[in-house]
């Protein structure tokens, strides 16, 4: 599913530290992500996995260390930041679709404003993406008229409309009713096989095992395991990982 031959690093995180007051959310986290790689980031809640993901497009500012995205150092420099955010798409746990805009306008807003696309071209692209996630007929509806699963598929299409190099998923199925999880996972699976770089914070162990190239296990702000799904699920190296897996094992 990815070209092992020349893996180009697209995200490099070096010794990232982050505190929320007295709480030490990330302690010197380092990881490199390569183009085309699908990484599942797992771990107990409060372990720092979502915080780590959110530092990668600076929804959280890291306190120490360095993050380089596609050759650009992530900082408060607004020009660099906007350049990075154009290339890094994000899908949120609670969808965060723009509630005052139709589904179509949700998809065309950023391409028109940020990429300066013409409306007709943006709409054509949006319709193609909606077809890809199976929601072409819903284009003129508003987010509130859609189910959670449909909204999350729209949110994925909205992120894709910017042609990002990397897609970050922050627990994309955690807010969904169980019967809607699969429709979202199906879209993500299709994306993973299309070769886009994905970082997925998830509790869906089945998805991680089946689709990911790599599993990162977070605990108390550090990366405890960084390995292949096979080795993580069959032979975890740390006690904490074993305990975590035994607790979530019903997931697959």
Cβ atoms of 85 and 57 within 8 Å: the answer is: yes
Report the residue number, 36 or 164, with the smaller CB distance to another protein.
164
Least CB distance from residue 247 to another protein, whole Å? 28
Report the residue number, 22 or 144, with the smaller CB distance to another protein.
144
Least CB distance from residue 97 to another protein, whole Å? 7
Q: Please list the alpha-helical segments (H only) found in 65-200.
A: 78-87, 103-113, 119-132, 148-160, 178-193
Cβ atoms of 74 and 68 within 8 Å: the answer is: yes
Least CB distance from residue 125 to another protein, whole Å? 14
Report the residue number, 114 or 248, with the smaller CB distance to another protein.
114
Least CB distance from residue 90 to another protein, whole Å? 4
Least CB distance from residue 113 to another protein, whole Å? 5
Compute the distance between CA of residue 161 and CA of residue 130 in angstroms, rounded to an integer.
Answer: 10
Report the residue number, 94 or 231, with the smaller CB distance to another protein.
94
Element (DSSP H or E) covering residue 61: none
Report the residue number, 201 or 241, with the smaller CB distance to another protein.
201
Q: Burial of 54 by CB count in 10 Å (0-12 exposed, 13-18 middle, 19+ buried)?
A: buried
Report the residue number, 138 or 225, with the smaller CB distance to another protein.
138
Q: Which residues bind another protein (CB under 8 A)?
A: 57, 59, 78, 82, 85-86, 88-90, 92, 94, 96-102, 109-110, 113-114, 142-145, 155, 158-159, 162
Least CB distance from residue 41 to another protein, whole Å? 17
Q: For 214-238, give one letter per residue: b (16+ CB within 10 A) or e.
A: bbbbbbebbbbbbbebeebbeebee
Element (DSSP H or E) covering residue 71: none
- Distance between first and last Cα of the chain: 22
Alpha-carbon separation of residue 215 from 185, 207, 239 (angstroms): 17, 11, 16
Report the residue number, 39 or 106, with the smaller CB distance to another protein.
106
Cβ atoms of 192 and 37 within 8 Å: the answer is: no
Return the CA Rg of the chain.
Answer: 18
Least CB distance from residue 55 to another protein, whole Å? 13
């Amino acid at each position: 599913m990815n070209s092992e031959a020349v893996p180009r690093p697209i995200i490099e995180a070096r010794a990232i530290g982050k505190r929320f007051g007295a709480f030490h959310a990330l302690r010197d986290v380092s990881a490199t992500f390569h183009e085309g790689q699908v990484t599942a980031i797992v771990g107990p809640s409060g372990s720092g996995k979502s915080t780590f993901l959110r530092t990668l497009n600076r929804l959280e500012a890291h306190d120490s260390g360095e993050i380089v995205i596609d050759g650009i150092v992530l900082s408060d420099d607004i020009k660099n930041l906007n350049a990075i955010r154009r290339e890094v798409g994000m899908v949120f746990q609670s969808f965060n679709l723009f509630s005052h805009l139709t589904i179509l306008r949700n998809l065309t807003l950023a391409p028109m404003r940020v990429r300066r696309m013409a409306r007709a071209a943006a709409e054509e692209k949006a319709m193609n993406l909606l077809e890809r996630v199976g929601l072409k007929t819903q284009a003129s509806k508003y987010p509130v008229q859609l189910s959670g699963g449909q909204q999350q598929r729209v949110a994925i299409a909205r992120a894709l409309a910017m042609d990002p190099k990397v897609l970050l998923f922050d627990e994309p199925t955690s807010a969904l009713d169980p019967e809607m999880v699969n429709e979202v996972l199906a879209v993500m699976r299709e994306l993973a096989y299309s070769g886009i770089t994905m970082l997925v914070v998830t509790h869906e162990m089945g998805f991680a095992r089946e689709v990911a190239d790599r599993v990162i296990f977070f605990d108390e702000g550090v990366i405890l395991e960084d390995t292949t799904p096979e080795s993580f699920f069959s032979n975890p190296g740390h006690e904490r990982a074993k305990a975590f897996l035994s607790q979530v094992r019903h997931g697959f």
